[in-house]
Structure 1
Amino acid sequence: MGQLFAKKKPVSRITEQDKAVLKLKQTRDKLKQYQKKIVVNQAKERILAKQLLDQGRKDKALRLLKKKKFQDSLLDKTDVQLDNLDKLVQDIEFAQVEIQVVEGLKGGNEALDALHQIMSLDDVEKIMGDTEDAIAYQNEIDDLMAGGAGVEQPDEDELLAELGELLGDEAEQELPDVPVSDMDLPVAPTHELEKTKSRDDPRTLVAS
């Protein structure tokens, strides 16, 4: 009975790549601590070498300086190793990202394939055709509801011409009537006036 209600052991999500990255980072941290220790020792031995020179113990001071040169070479080597470790960590982490991208693309392609199986091109064409038929049917209903089914729509040019005629009739109706007088008006001459040779006296103008 106890086995039936026993809790399942949780599945670890830590991959082998994660373990490798963690180990590389731990090694990197140890190298940095090693470098720090060397730098601290060099500072102390530099002070000691100066004291030995002041005491006239030149041989021991030279040995400390030689040791410092050797430690400098160790620091250079550890710098190269740290660069290699950092590059390896970055390569592994980037490879993990690439794996996630590939898995995402794979899942997306599978989802698209499933959708394509649900709806084929024939289904899409049928839906589009049914939609066009429904729209055309609705347009016919709208025409019937508006009372315009089967009625020929008037030409716009004819409507504009008729509107112009209406405006012309209104303008004629608004013009005032001209009064007619019983007075006899002089008759305008129908012949041309002829000028005399003298241009100074206007009274020389005579009728021909």
Structure 2
Amino acid sequence: SLGLERERELARQLLKDGKKEKAMLLLKKKRYQEQLLDKTDNQISNLERMVQDIEFTQIEMKVIEGLKIGNECLNKMHQVMSIEEVERIIGETQDAVEYQRQIDEILAGSLTEEDEDAILEELNTITQEQLELPDVPSEPLPEEPPGMLSALCALQLWLHIHLLCSVQCFETSYLL
């Protein structure tokens, strides 16, 4: 690059100075270095390609190993649960569902119209019981129940005394 360009300029100068042999030798050296650089670039490219191939092969090997382990797991599971076993379980489940459906039909069919009426009557009774609430008093509430003022005053006095005692007890224990 810069070194090679500089050698080319030097070769021109040598030609101007009449040193053709030295100029030719310098150009041969320049040409050899260019070929060496090209060869080195090709080798580096080959190495990079080889590294990429190795990395990809490692990834492929991991994928294949994963597939192998997965296949072994599936085979073990298939040994534990065969197709016949799955079909048997599905058949038993369908039989149980059918049996329960038959029981439901029998229970639903055993209720007579009289039973249906009794059920509706019981439901209405329960609903009415929930709706029957006590009557609300019609006279207005007094402004203040009798004796309430004195009870409130007594409560306030008790709280005040209690708080004072608590503060004094705290101060006394703090000073000790």
Normalised TM-score (structure 2): 0.52
Q: How many residues align?
A: 111
Which residue of structure 1 lines up, in the alignment, with residue 67 of structure 2? 105
RCO (CA 8 Å, sep 6+): is it higher in 1 or 2?
1
Equivalent residue in structure 1 for 2:10, among 48, 60, 81: 48
Deviation at 1:128, TM superposition (A): 1.0
Stretches of structure 2 lacking an aligned partner (at least 5 in a row): 112-176
Residue 61 (1) aligns with residue 23 (2)? yes
Greater per-residue helix proportion? 2
One-letter code of the match for 1:99? M
Aligned with 2:109: secondary structure?
A: coil
One-letter code of the match for 1:133? D
Deviation at 1:119, TM superposition (A): 1.6
Deviation at 1:133, TM superposition (A): 0.5
Deviation at 1:108, TM superposition (A): 0.4
* 1:81–1:148 Cα change, 3 Å: farther
Equivalent residue in structure 1 for 2:50, among 70, 76, 88: 88
Q: Distance in 1 between matches of 2:9 and 2:102?
A: 103
One-letter code of the match for 1:93? E
One-letter code of the match for 1:87? R
Stretches of structure 1 lacking an aligned partner (at least 5 in a row): 1-38, 150-208
Normalised TM-score (structure 1): 0.45
Which residue of structure 2 lines up, in the alignment, with residue 121 of structure 1? 83
Which residue of structure 2 lines up, in the alignment, with residue 143 of structure 1? 105
Over the residues paired in the alignment, what is the CA RMSD in angstroms? 2.5
Q: Distance in 1 between matches of 2:94 and 2:22?
A: 101
Q: Distance in 2 between matches of 1:113 and 1:80?
A: 49
Q: Deviations over 1:94-138 (max 9, x none)?
A: 221221122111110111122123222332122111111112112
Aligned with 1:146: secondary structure?
A: helix
Q: Distance in 2 between matches of 1:145 and 1:46?
A: 108
Residue 71 (1) aligns with residue 33 (2)? yes
- Identity within the alignment, %: 54
Q: Distance in 2 between matches of 1:138 and 1:54?
A: 112
Q: Distance in 1 between matches of 2:43 and 2:6?
A: 25
Which residue of structure 1 lines up, in the alignment, with residue 93 of structure 2? 131
Q: Distance in 1 between matches of 2:83 and 2:21?
A: 92
